[in-house]
Structure 1
Amino acid sequence: MSYTGSVTPGGPAAVRSLDALTITKVSVGGKYYNNAYLLRCNETGAQLLIDAANDADKLIDLIGGKLDAVITTHQHGDHWQALAEVVAATGATTYAGRLDAPGIPVRTDTLVDDNDTIHFGQITLEAIHLVGHTPGSIALLYRDPAGHPHLFTGDCLFPGGVGNTRGDAANFASLIDGVQTKLFDRLPDDTWFYPGHGKDSTLGAERPSLDEWRARGW
C-alpha cells in the first residue's frame, strides 16, 4: 500500500520507504492522540524516534531493539509521556531544543539550536528552531538526495494552519513569521511534512493559505 500519512489510535503503523530512510508513523494514546515517528537508516539499521509521546510498550515494541536517539520536538507534556520508559529500555541519547529542555522531565543529553545537525547511521537531520508554540520548538528536516524533502514539524505546522499560540498575538506573529521564512520561503512545494498530530500534508498544498492564516491570527 502507498503511504498516505493516515494513522488511527490503536491502528497499524504507516510505513514510508525511501532509498536511504524508512519512516514509520504511529498514533499513540492520550488525550490528544499524538503522532510518533521512527526513522531507520536503511544502510546501517540505526534508528531515531521523534517524540516518545505515549504508549511506551507500543513504541518499545515498534523499535524492536536498539534505538540510537530520541528527539522531543517541544516541551508540552503530551509529547514526552513515554520518554523515560523508552530511554530506560533502549539507552537512547536524548535531544531537545535548548530553550525547551528545562521543561522536559527527562535529562536532555544534547541541546539543539537552530541549524544544528543530528546524525544517525548515514542519515542527517537539520534542526529548525521555531518560536511561538513554545520558546524552543524544533522542526527536523531530511533532505532526501533521491527525492523531495521531508519535514517533521512537531506542533508548529499542521494542515490548515500553524500551531496553537493561545491567543497571544506576539507568539502568533513569531510562529507565522518563522514558519513562512524558515519553511515556506526555503523549501519547495513538494516538501512533505509530518506533524505532531493528525494527517500529513505538503508545503505546496498549504502555501496558498498563508495569507489567510496570517489575517485570521491563528
Structure 2
Amino acid sequence: MTYSGAVKVGGPADVHELQDLMISKVAVGAMNNNAYLLRCRATGEQLLIDAAADAETLLTLIGDDGIASVVTTHQHGDHWQALGRIVEVTGPHTYAGRYDAEGIPVPTDVPVEDGDTIKVGRVSLTARHLVGHTPGSIALIYDDPHGHPHVFTGDCLFPGGVGNTWKDPKAFASLIDDVESKIFDQLSDETWVYPGHGNDTTLGAERPHLQEWRERGW
C-alpha cells in the first residue's frame, strides 16, 4: 500500500517503507499527536520519536522487540505524556534538545546539540536545533542514501506554516529563520516532512509560501 501519512486516533499506523528504514506513524491523544517508530531494516533496532500519549497504543506499535531509544522533539506536555511508561517498560536511552530537557519530567540521558547524530541501527539521523516554538526544539533529518531526505519536525514546521510562537515577534523571527536556514536551505524540494500533528507535507509544497509566512508573522 502507498504511504499517505494520514492517520487518526484509534486507527491503524501508516507505514513508510524505505530501503534501509521503516517509518510507522500513529496518531495518539486528545491533541492528535503524531508518534513515529523508526526501524532499521538491517538490524531491527527501533527508535521512537515522541512518546506523546496512549502508552498502550505505542507499546503495541513497538512490539516485542522493544526500542533502543526515544527522542522527545520538545518540552510541551502533549509530546511526552506516555514517556514515563514507555521508558519503564522498554528501558530505552532518552534524547531531547539540551535547552528543553529540564522541562521534560522524565530524565534525558543524552541532551542533544545542533548537528548531533542519533543512530538507529545502521541508520543515522541528524538533529537540528530550531528555536522559537520552545527554546530547545529539535528536528531530525534522515538523508536517505537511496532517495530523498526525510525530516521529523515536531511542532516547528507544518503544512501551511511554522509552529506556534504566540504572537511573539522575536520568537517567530527566530523560528522561521532557523527553519529556513537549517531545513529549507539545506534540503531538496522532495524532502518529506513528518510533523508533530496532522498530515505530512514536502518542502517543495511549502517553499513557495515562505515569504507569505514572514509577512503575516505566523
Whether TM exceeds 0.5 here: the answer is yes
Cα separation, 1, equivalents of 2:190 and 2:120: 24
2:13 pairs with 1:40: no
SS of residue matched to 1:39:
strand
Cα separation, 2, equivalents of 1:15 and 1:120: 17
1:135 Cα deviation after fit: 0.2
Cα separation, 2, equivalents of 1:110 and 1:181: 25
Per-residue CA deviations over 1:63-83 (Å, capped at 9, x if unaligned) read: 012210000000000000000
Decide whether the 8 Å contact of 2:38 with 2:120 is kept in 1: no
TM-score, normalisation: structure 2: 0.99
Cα separation, 2, equivalents of 1:216 and 1:120: 39
Cα separation, 2, equivalents of 1:120 and 1:58: 21
1:136 Cα deviation after fit: 0.1
2:100 pairs with 1:62: no
SS of residue matched to 1:22:
strand
Which residue in 1 is equivalent to 2:136?
136
Following superposition, which runs of at least 4 residues in structure 1 exceed 3 angstroms of deviation?
Answer: none
TM-score, normalisation: structure 1: 0.99
1:120 Cα deviation after fit: 1.8
SS of residue matched to 1:214:
helix
SS of residue matched to 1:204:
helix
Which residue in 2 is equivalent to 1:50?
49
% identical equivalent positions? 66
Number of residue pairs matched by the alignment: 217
> Equivalent residues in 2 for 1:1-218 (5 A)?
1-30=1-30, 32-65=31-64, 66-218=66-218
1:35 Cα deviation after fit: 0.1
Per-residue CA deviations over 1:90-149 (Å, capped at 9, x if unaligned) read: 001100000000000000000000000001210100000000000000000001010000
Provide the aligned C-alpha RMSD in A.
Answer: 0.5
Give the counterpart letter for 1:173 in structure 2.
Answer: A
Cα separation, 2, equivalents of 1:92 and 1:182: 28
SS of residue matched to 1:128:
strand
Give the counterpart letter for 1:152 in structure 2.
Answer: F
Give the counterpart letter for 1:63 in structure 2.
Answer: I
Cα separation, 1, equivalents of 2:99 and 2:114: 11
SS of residue matched to 1:19:
coil
Cα separation, 1, equivalents of 2:106 and 2:170: 29
SS of residue matched to 2:187:
coil
Cα separation, 2, equivalents of 1:11 and 1:123: 28
SS of residue matched to 1:53:
coil
Decide whether the 8 Å contact of 2:69 with 2:94 is kept in 1: yes
Cα separation, 2, equivalents of 1:29 and 1:118: 26
Cα separation, 1, equivalents of 2:209 and 2:193: 16
Cα separation, 2, equivalents of 1:183 and 1:120: 21
Cα separation, 2, equivalents of 1:61 and 1:185: 37
Cα separation, 2, equivalents of 1:150 and 1:112: 19
1:29 Cα deviation after fit: 1.3
